[in-house]
Amino acid sequence: MDFDTRLAEAWVRALAEAVGKEHERLTELDSAIGDGDHGSNLRRGFAAVLAVLDDPDTPAPTGPGAVLTRTGSTLISKVGGASGPLYGKAFRAIGAALAAPAGAPADGPADVAALGEALAAGLRAVRELGRAEEGDKTIVDAWTPALAAYREAVAGGAGLPGATAAAAAGAERGALATVPLQARKGRASYLGPRSIGHQDPGATSTALLFRALAEATRA
Ligand code: ADP
Ligand code: MG
């Protein structure tokens, strides 16, 4: 099984559904250490992404890279706050990594290793824009262990379902591990030590992102 247009769309749709179900929890987490808009930010963003995917006047995507680039661009244009640009750039970077080489008409399916490289490009994009290190209590703290678990699974011979399931578990571990951290980036950092003892909303939504990918690619 390779990561093709159908799976890319299935990922984005599963993530939109998860955000729709979990937005209250995300907003609650953001109310504790931020401004209480993380769930509504992402819900608005992914509703717009679904509208683009379902728009009969938008030309069909040329491949999985195009689906994810389009997702990222929509998030950037529709979501304010820190998370819109961060997730937007991440999806655009994933899309660019999967995109067709110059001159080719379409971006073909990606194998499990190529998707891993694309997910690494997504993390690089988050880090370049947000300048967060591991341990700063952000998206980076879920994405980093997710990627490490994905790569370890691939090295052990896993295919897409196994590697994405490992990544989802890694992201969930990473999100839980933000609880004792003091935030050093974003609004939560204004709280200083009072940010300790709460799970980071962005790391939590990153866990949803990887869980959705695992659901989409489940054999
Ligand atoms: P805002 O903080 O602007 O209200 P959101 O509430 O949508 O935006 O998103 C907050 C989340 O964004 C945080 O929980 C954190 O995980 C993430 N975040 C904030 N700043 C950064 C950063 N510099 N790098 C990575 N992630 C960040
Ligand atoms: Mg917020």
pLDDT in tens, 49-77: 999 999 999 999 989 999 999 999 999 99
Q: For residue 52, which amino acid is it?
A: V
Q: How many helices (H) and strands (E) would you count in the chain? A: 8, 0
Ligand 1 mean position, distance from CA 29 (Å)? 12
Q: Ligand 1 test: best mutation among 129, 187, 200, most atoms within 8 Å of CB?
A: 187
**Rounded mean pLDDT, 158-163:** 98
Least distant ligand from the CA of 41: 1
**Rounded mean pLDDT, 204-211:** 99
Q: Ligand 1 test: best mutation among 28, 35, 42, 138, most atoms within 8 Å of CB?
A: 138
Q: In this predicted structure, what is the pLDDT of residue 101?
A: 75
Q: Look up residue 20 and give its two tokens.
A: 């729709």
Q: Which domains does the chain have, with CATH numbers?
A: 5-216 (1.25.40.340)
| Long-range CB pairs of 52-57, under 8 A, 24+ apart, other chains included | 53/9, 53/12, 53/13
The C-alpha atoms of residue 49 and residue 21 are separated, in whole angstroms, by 16
